């Protein structure tokens, strides 16, 4: 079966396999948590944390059980931990100043026509980024506009490195869907 081969590849560190598993199981885990939390942001946060933990511990996955059952068990534990800690806001909002910095990117293209085209494309991209949820906007901004490393982002937003990787992967996927929809 394709899922089992992807799991085996993921155990060996194959990033394409991780992406496949994330895409394949995202909606199932997210929907499961949305029913329990009745809050999109919380469900998304738990789903990100679930995949982060799952990918960190994929070597311990027992193939005698369904992969989705394993993911749901991790999600339940993440949710229980969240309830115990009573964390209500895990993410930093992007400030107006930071948002304005994204618009003030220097344009070094040689011709006026090139500058205009680049500006229009950047404006379209920024509009698409604004359609993302704030915590996705933040990681996109830190990675691609401030050119921070994954570790620097993890330190800045006070989250584990694996969470940052999963969040960026998800943000890029959602941004690609938004860009495609707006063509």
| CA gap 139, 134 in Å, rounded | 9
Whole-model pTM: value is 0.58
- In the chain, the domains with their CATH numbers are 1-99 (1.10.1740.10), 110-182 (1.10.10.10)
Helix 150-157 crosses helix 161-181 at what angle (to 10 degrees)? 100
Q: Which two tokens stand for residue 24?
A: 């394949």
pLDDT at site 50: 92
| CA gap 139, 43 in Å, rounded | 18
Q: Output the tens digit of pLDDT for each of the chain's 183 residues.
A: 588 888 899 888 888 888 899 889 999 999 999 999 888 888 988 999 899 889 888 888 888 889 999 999 999 999 988 888 764 444 445 555 555 554 444 444 445 655 566 667 777 888 888 998 898 999 989 988 888 888 999 999 998 888 888 888 888 888 888 888 887
DSSP state of 149: -
Q: Which two tokens stand for residue 41?
A: 């942001």
Q: Are 172 and 125 in contact (CB under 8 A)?
A: no
CA 174, 180, 181: angle at the middle one, nearest 5?
90
pLDDT at site 174: 87
pLDDT at site 13: 82
The Cβ-side half-sphere exposure at 99, using a 13 Å CA radius, reads 12
Q: Is 22 helix (H, G, I), strand (E, B) or coil?
A: helix
Residues with Cβ within 8 Å of 27's Cβ and at least 6 positions away in sequence, in order, are none
């Amino acid at each position: 079966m394709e899922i089992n081969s992807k799991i085996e590849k993921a155990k060996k560190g194959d990033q394409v396999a991780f992406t496949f598993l994330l895409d394949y199981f995202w909606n199932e885990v997210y929907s499961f948590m949305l029913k329990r939390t009745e809050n999109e942001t919380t469900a998304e946060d738990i789903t990100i944390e679930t995949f982060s933990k799952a990918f960190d511990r994929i070597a311990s996955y027992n193939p005698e059980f369904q992969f989705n059952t394993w993911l749901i068990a991790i999600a339940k534990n993440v949710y229980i931990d969240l309830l115990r800690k009573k964390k209500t806001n895990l993410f930093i909002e992007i400030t107006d100043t930071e948002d304005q910095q994204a618009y003030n990117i220097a344009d070094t293209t040689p011709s006026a026509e090139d500058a205009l085209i680049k500006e229009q494309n950047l404006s379209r991209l920024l509009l698409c980024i604004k359609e993302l949820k704030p915590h996705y906007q933040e990681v996109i901004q830190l990675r691609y506009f401030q050119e921070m490393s994954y570790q620097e982002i993890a330190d800045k937003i006070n989250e584990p490195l694996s969470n940052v990787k999963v969040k960026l992967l998800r943000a890029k996927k959602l941004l690609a869907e938004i860009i495609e929809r707006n063509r």
